[in-house]
Structure 1
Amino acid sequence: MLGCQSGMFGNGPVTLSEGLNKLLSEHIPLREGLERLFSLCKTVKEGQGASFADLVQEVKDFASDLDHHSEREENILFRMMEVYLGKNGGPIAVMEYEHEKAHGFINVFLKNVQSSSSEYSDEEKIQNAGLIENAYHTLISHFGKEEQVLYPMAERMFTDEEKEIVKQRVSE
């Protein structure tokens, strides 16, 4: 039914507009980066020769890419969806909470490795690798929610003009 809010929550397949598809496509390299981080964490925790310094550098690189993606989701997509969904509770609040949670794990890791000497005990390496594993699990689940629920919801609720705004702003 046209105009019925339940229409924006439909379960049928949806083709994403260009701007939403750009955000979606960014999940591919982010997922690949997460898989590399998870693998490095595992080898660090098992003491199988992975350099903790390699993990630190990979996390720094990944954090920069994640920040760029998250900022555009939060400042563009989420703000535009709030017009329809409100600011309190609901899917946007969940998405923002998960952003904060994942960034929190990464930021604690980065703070720990910035403020410590270059020599880390095995226990410190394992604890810090655990932070990145937590970020991994949070983000893998989060990306799935965005891909299966949030992006299709935005596609269904946005007007053509709003979709064009998303496209222009995420391409800046």
Structure 2
Amino acid sequence: MANGQLQFTEPAVRLLENEHRYLMHLAEEWHAIVLRFEREEDMDRDTALALLNELKTNLIGFLDPLKNHTDKEEEHFFPVLGSYIGFEQGPIVGIQEEHGEIDAYIGHFFHHTRGDLSGLTLDEIRKIVGDAGEAFEVITVHFVKEETVLFPMAERLLRADDLDTLAEKLNTLIV
């Protein structure tokens, strides 16, 4: 994205690209909390606990839009692109594996933040926050891969009628 502009021209691809922008905006909000943990060596436990709760709230708000976006890709975008390039190997396989990896990191974070968190040590809190940090890293690389490999491939290979049908199916809100 140069100068805040979307780079793709096909409506179907632009919809996904625009969703990436929105999701990264949300992710950068909760990632700022992760970065505080990485920078502040001498953080006290009470501050860490408050930040963990804030991080959890932000991740809860991020989860539905992310899930709605990845569901749209898995149900509509990948099958159409896969009909052109195949499903057994190649970029779609890796991208789908990353969807699972993102889910696993976020799921692990939520697993460890269920119930009463008041008994957590500072080290335990830092470890839990690390899962959110890992999720952010995978999401960031994942979006770059989609935007540098899959999206240009879709614009180049898909027929106009497939792109039009795909745009209709993808034109739903993720929030």
Give the shorter-chain TM-score range. 0.7 to 0.9
1:16–1:152 contact (8 Å) kept in structure 2: no
Q: Which residue of 2 aligns with 1:8?
A: none
Q: Which TM-score applies when normalising by structure 2?
A: 0.84
* AA matched with 2:29: R
1:76–1:169 contact (8 Å) kept in structure 2: yes
Q: Which TM-score applies when normalising by structure 1?
A: 0.85
- Report SS of the residue matched to 2:27: helix
Q: Which residue of 1 aligns with 2:60?
A: 60
Give, in whole Å, the separation in 1 of the partners of 2:61 and 2:85. 34
Determine which of 30, 37, 44 is the counterpart of 2:23: 30
Give, in whole Å, the separation in 2 of the partners of 1:15 and 1:40. 32
Where structure 2 has 5 or more consecutive residues not aligned to the other structure, the ranges are: 1-6
Assess, with a 3 A threshold, how the Cα gap between structure 1 residues 127 and 150 changes in structure 2: closer, same or farther: same
Give, in whole Å, the separation in 2 of the partners of 1:21 and 1:111. 34
What aligned pairs does 1:150-169 form with structure 2 within 5 A after superposition?
150-169=150-169
Q: Which residue of 1 aligns with 2:75?
A: 75
> RMSD between aligned alpha carbons?
1.6
Give, in whole Å, the separation in 1 of the partners of 2:22 and 2:128. 23
Which consecutive aligned stretches of 4+ in structure 1 deviate over 3 angstroms post-superposition?
A: none
Q: Determine what percentage of the aligned residue pairs are the same residue.
A: 24
Where structure 1 has 5 or more consecutive residues not aligned to the other structure, the ranges are: 1-13
Give, in whole Å, the separation in 1 of the partners of 2:151 and 2:69. 14
1:16–1:151 contact (8 Å) kept in structure 2: no
Q: Which residue of 2 aligns with 1:41?
A: 34
Aligned length: 158
- Report SS of the residue matched to 2:113: helix
What aligned pairs does 1:1-172 form with structure 2 within 5 A after superposition?
15-45=8-38, 46=40, 47=43, 49=47, 51-114=51-114, 116-119=115-118, 120-172=120-172
